[in-house]
Structure 1
Amino acid sequence: MSWRHDAGTWNAEPVHFLGDTVTQVFPDERDGSLYAILTLGHFGAKLRRLPSGAPEWIECGVPVYPEGAEVNDGPPREDGSVKKKPATLKEIWALESGGHDQPGVLWAGTIPGGLFRSNDLGATWALIESLWDRPERAQWFGGGKDEPGIHSVCIDPRDSRHIAIGISCGGAWFSSDGGASWTVGQGMRAEYMPPNLAYEPSAQDPHRMVHCPASPDRMWVQHHNGVFRSDDFAANWTEITNVPPAPFGFAVAVHPQKPDTAWLVPAVKDEIRVPVDARVVVSRTNDGGRTFQVLSNGLPEPPAYDIVYRHALDVAADGNTLAFGSTTGGLWVSGNGGDSWTCLTHTLPPVYAVRFSEF
């Protein structure tokens, strides 16, 4: 469902894909196209494209794993061996465009753990084998999903060859050569691992990774057990330890011009995934994570049990307009950086993704 902001008011527009599960949307600034990812259970993952000005959606291709590609089928056995099974597409979990110098290029992160590139606006896809063939992939495992998945793809606007990805659970990886080679980021901590493996880069569970368009080296990650910041495009990470009311959550957004400003939607972690004290709040930092403000003006009074998924928080290009949707079908917007919020509706199905479009 889409909403248009005109003359200070929000107006609902016609619903597309009524009754289908739309798990991701992506507006392509390069040509004004809109993409929608459908996750249809028995019928699989589908990708649709609505060209600018077109009356109907076009069916695109979807990523297909090469013949013989395998993934782990369960944890390692006592002898260290791992049972394998064929890799088949479960979900397209991330979709982003290439740079403005790459017309037609799209990147897709998938479950299980594959990164794919399309050179023809999604008509065909190719697996990035340089990442797939990394020996560390044997250490990746499922977090909230049964299998590891790539949920975040960040393209450096200064150089389209610079790519960073977030994998749950497989860490944060970056490439400086368009995906020909990959390096895993250092410095994240996983408290769910044994102490000797807590800083193992490939055992990390970043829930969402974003970068500041005006200062792309600054990246933010909402991790399974904390918040992390990078100042060198995912190469090294610093843990932010003072996030109120809790360091757990799924979503993070960063101001498009101010790299020190970021928003999070915290929750209680692991077995009890609900807002802390049953109170929905947004935490904001304006100083790179040194301090935070807890924002709740206009958000539901307790008890409220809304959780915000990875892709369901977004900030517009103006840096002041934000929106997030929840698992209980609520949609809230703010026009002042989160200081106050307005509920547009609380009767939607669970909201998987929220994106702003300037066209």
Structure 2
Amino acid sequence: MIKLDEKINEIENDYLLLLQNIKSNITDDSLESVLDSIRLFWYKNRKVVSMFLETLKNKQAFSYSGATHLDVNDNEYYGFLAVGKIHIMDDQLYKYADCLLQDVDVPGNEIIKKQVFTTLNDNICLLKDLKGIVLLLPVRLFFTNKLDVIHKVAEQCYLSFFNNHFSSIKNYFDNCKTAEDVDKYLSDDIKKSIYICDHDRFDLEFTERIKFLPDAFLGNNNDAEKFFHSLIGFIISGLEILETMHDYGIIPIIRNPATLSYIYLLEPNLSTDIFFLNKTVLANEIFAIVNQNMNNFKVYTPKEMNDLCKTNNIFETLYNDFELSTQSINQINFKERVEMIKTRILNMADNK
């Protein structure tokens, strides 16, 4: 009987062949059939993927999520390898297929189409250059049966940002039209803590930040509608990531600071497990600090970097040093924590 790990390896080999064939033949006109073939591929292999993910609980598994792709050519994976023992890239092509094959013309579809080509190329690089180091799997493949619930929860989260002043989203739309309306009702704490878009302008007044929202994804709506659509996207993405990761005991690594801010905001309200939040915060801080000090690791090949990280196991060491099994990571001074992480990372880099 073929072992589960071997079956996953076979699936990845087949996926690489599929993507290489797609790359050779893809055109704008064939995009729909291409995406359908990707969706069908993962649907066909869903049982094996699900069984494999179920085995990862309590195994220090981490998933690179909430990003379009993992930039292999720029060594962006170095920070990812620095945490944990098992590394999974959450394949976004499946998500793009779901979005674009719904036969709904929504703002942002053209941007998503461009991302398909970028992600396709990076997936091929990942499957070739990081074979046996980073797995490429659609971690959120099995989330579709929860989408209705997630959307309802997301709307309630959104309304809570306004101190539940509005009884429903319709009530919000009826009463909020302008940036000034949003500013009037939105909680002051939320204004200080959230991103309202990927490239938020924190140097601007809050109403100006709303007016700065791009039209590309949000369409020609009024400011209050744009604000809703921007935030609800972040909330849904955060809820999807957290629910899926909780299901499999996988810790999310989030490159996008906007998405990460919503993970931190939502997590305490979804779970009383401070240890999951501790692990998420620590892992993402390690990821960020390694990438900030990338030059110290460029002498390492991907395999050498992977072996180095597994040998040193900075994540587990720091988790124990910070005593995160008994206290919240937020009880530890942020600057001191970052300095300690950086010291450990630079010491590891010098071990060659």
| TM-score, normalised with respect to structure 1 | 0.30
Structure showing greater radius of gyration is 2
TM-score normalised by length of structure 2: 0.30
Higher relative contact order (CA 8 A, sep 6+): 2
